[in-house]
Chain A
Amino acid sequence: MREMTIGARTRRGPSPQARREWLAAYAFLTPQILGLLIFLAGPLIVSIYYTFTKWDLVAPAPTWIGLANWQHLLEDPRIGKVLWNTVRFILTGTTGFLVLSLAVALLVNQGLRGTAVMRTLFFLPWVLSQVAVGTTWKWLLNTRSGPIVQAFKLFGLRSPEWLLDARYAMIAIAMATTWQALGFGMTIYLAGLQGIPQHLYDAAKVDGANAWQRFRYVTFPSLSPVIFFLTVTSLIGAFQLYDPVVMMTSGGVGIAPGGPKDSTRTIVLYLQNQMFSYSEKLSGLGYAATIAWVLAALIFAVTLIQWRAARWWVFYGGEED
């Protein structure tokens, strides 16, 4: 039957042609939908279940323990520490990345000679793996012959024990990650900068705006969607910090998995440690899943706050004041 009645109106159902198109569309979409269900939705649901269980992976099946993992989380003295470590990384690494990559983008956007080469050089580290970057920086920062330490000596300064001192270890990781991501941030900023109409600057000049005022009232508002995008994505990345921490401060026999005095143990590293670490009392898969959900909730909350706050400082083209 090809006619359908909706309320008082009667209209014809989809034509055979339209139906065939729908079928074809769903046929093409089915693998993706199945993939999402199997590899994303499925594990997500299962991981919620795991938060109410205890399982060391050796026993044949998880044991239901109700809310014990969530209660343990509230009483776990390490959670505060690992969250603070993540905040320290955000304050140093994420902020450094956002500010420095903007500075570099403004510099290479000046159209000076050699700009193309500079862009390429800044972008190169982005294509490296974080493991390679961590290993390289571990060598750069070694406190005897590392080039950074030697540079301090040239100026008659004493270099910190970058990777062995709890005060500096996270800063060292922030330096490495900023160095790697600088080129990526620069590229995104550049795309935004090159989309700002020249007539806005011309008008500002006519109105007597100096360089700072042109940046404050033209560049920054025009660039705000790009800054917003980079802030959201880099904060998500900061919450997921793992590889550089392991490579730079957690390797070697006898070195605890969180760097000196646990100063670089991030929430993801802690999650992994709770599941697999050799040198700690393990809480198993259930507790690790609980930490993972806390991490997901945190990322969601922080991103939501950013979205809400965006209305006050992010300006999209075509918007009315």
Chain B
Amino acid sequence: MDKLSRRRFLRSSALALAGVVSACAPKPAATPQREPTTAPTTGAPATEPTKVTPTEAPKLSGTLSVMIWGSKQDVDEVRAVIAGYESRFPDVTLDIQEGACGVDYGACKTLIAGGAMPDVFVPGDWLIPSMSQDGVLLVLDPYIDRDGVNLDDFYPAAMISLKGADNKVLALPMGYHICVMYYNQDMFDKAGLPYPPADGNYTWHDVREWARKLTLDSKGNDANSSSFDPNDIVQWGMWTWPFTYIGFEPIILAFGGSVMTIPDGKKCNLEHPDSIRGMQFIQDLIWKDHSTMTPQADQENAGKYRFAAGEVAIMSAAAHWQTNIVMDQNPSLRNDVAAMPKEKAGNATHIYVTGWGVYSGTKAPELAWHFVRFVSTEGAGIEMGLIPAYKDLAMSDLFLKRPGEPEHLKEAFLDPAAWPLCIPPTVNNVHYAEIIGPDGIAPAVEAIYLNEKPAAEALAGVCEKVDAIMAS
């Protein structure tokens, strides 16, 4: 073997090093076709594609980053839907990330500032007003119009809160939660009570009576008994969300009140007598009747788990995730669902929607849209414990006859989506989060739920604060 000269050795080493470096360097991505659109490549995210070429077919190759969130089960379900897309379009490489962007705007902001925002994510409708204002979501109307996507294929209520200013569509719905009443059939049978009508043809005062009968202390006395011990409750008649609008809004709506005026949502309405009556009704359920779980009891062990464990008879304003919890923790629990009850203003419920959205700063808007369109429509699945917003799927046996689903799924979850008082509260109100926060109504609501003040006293002056927030 020839002796290696110093120069030759150095040259060989340099070549070897260059080889190693180039081998370790990231491979160039498959050349993505420049999309015919338009999301901005520099500067502030635009809210609208400036140009779409309707005739040009999308190039189905390239890389797309997708951020999803939720519990392990949620994530598994979403991943299954995404796997459907991957098998159908193998030339598209998906980079699936798990992160809080979609449920928490702060998480999105850090990603945006760091230049790491995914192309597609799963925004909850509570973020839509702020994201609409900031132009974070790509406006989808031009794509919808070009590709002829029929928005009537989705439940209309699920579309309302995914629209931003000027009624532009900012996301396609993955699914929605609608508040319903879950109830334990064995407890109702034992108390000799009829089941709540699935279509919601019963009142909140019926519920109040049932809850008192269904609340038992350790000696078996119900809340109507003079011997009943409220400090020794072993079976709660009812649970409702402590402190939050998800729990109280369906009640005050049915009573004729609301947080904000309906339908314009511009002024505070919490000091209206009907709103006060609704809030007082909740306080009475908890502290006068002792038939509804206190915030303290919920802090000890959340109502959703107690229901699955057979400790709570009625879950008020619960959503479809409750079915997942029951299926996971106590599949033998005999339970069913009914639509939310009515009062003088009729039946009222609350809907909140989770959608598929595209980041307005994406470099691949066409591919992102293609993905969003597929997973929202023909490729949609039952995900994140949501009611599918795509009607074909929601009405299919795949969903309605799914093992473990309650019997009256359709009456409780699908039909109320058409009620006049099925309202997504955050719609087009960029201030809503602040209104329900500590600068708005939270202290008053806290005082009501903790029985510190009667509702009228707690709510006195609250509208002045809310209207000031609206005016800011």
Which residues of A does B touch, CB under 8 Å? 56-60, 138, 142-146, 161, 163-164, 252-258, 260-262, 275-281
Contact = CB atoms under 8 A, between A and B. Distances in A.
B437 A279 contact: yes
Interface in B222-260: 241-247
Interface stretch (B108-116, B138-146, B182-190, B200-208): B108-116
Given A257-B438, A280-B437, A281-B469, A58 B299 contact: no
21 contacts: A58-B109, A58-B134, A146-B300, A253-B241, A253-B244, A254-B243, A254-B246, A254-B445, A260-B450, A276-B104, A277-B106, A278-B104, A278-B126, A278-B433, A278-B437, A279-B437, A279-B442, A280-B438, A281-B434, A281-B439, A281-B472
B443 A261 contact: yes
B416 to A, nearest CB: 21
A260 B300 CA distance: 17
Contact of A276 (B106, B241, B434): B106
A258 B438 CA distance: 8
A56 B469 CA distance: 19
B152 to A, nearest CB: 32
Interface string B410-449: 0000000000000000000000011011110011011000
Interface string B156-180: 0000000000000000000000000
A260 B445 CA distance: 11
A260 B446 contact: yes
Given A58-B134, A60-B44, A256-B446, A143 B109 contact: no
Interface of B: 43-45, 104-106, 109-110, 112-113, 126, 134-136, 241-247, 295-297, 299-300, 433-434, 436-439, 442-443, 445-446, 450, 469, 472
Contacts of A277: 106, 437
Contact of B300 (A142, A252, A278, A279): A142
A262 B58 CA distance: 52
A201 to B, nearest CB: 50
A275 B45 CA distance: 20
Given A252-B243, A280-B433, 5 more contacts: A57-B112, A143-B299, A253-B241, A256-B443, A281-B469
A143 B134 contact: no
Given A164-B450, A278-B433, A280-B439, A255 B134 contact: no
A256 B437 contact: yes
Contact of A143 (B300, B436, B438, B445): B300
Contact of B436 (A57, A275, A279): A279
A59 B438 contact: no
A260 B175 CA distance: 34
Contact of B296 (A59, A161, A257): A161
A92 B346 CA distance: 52
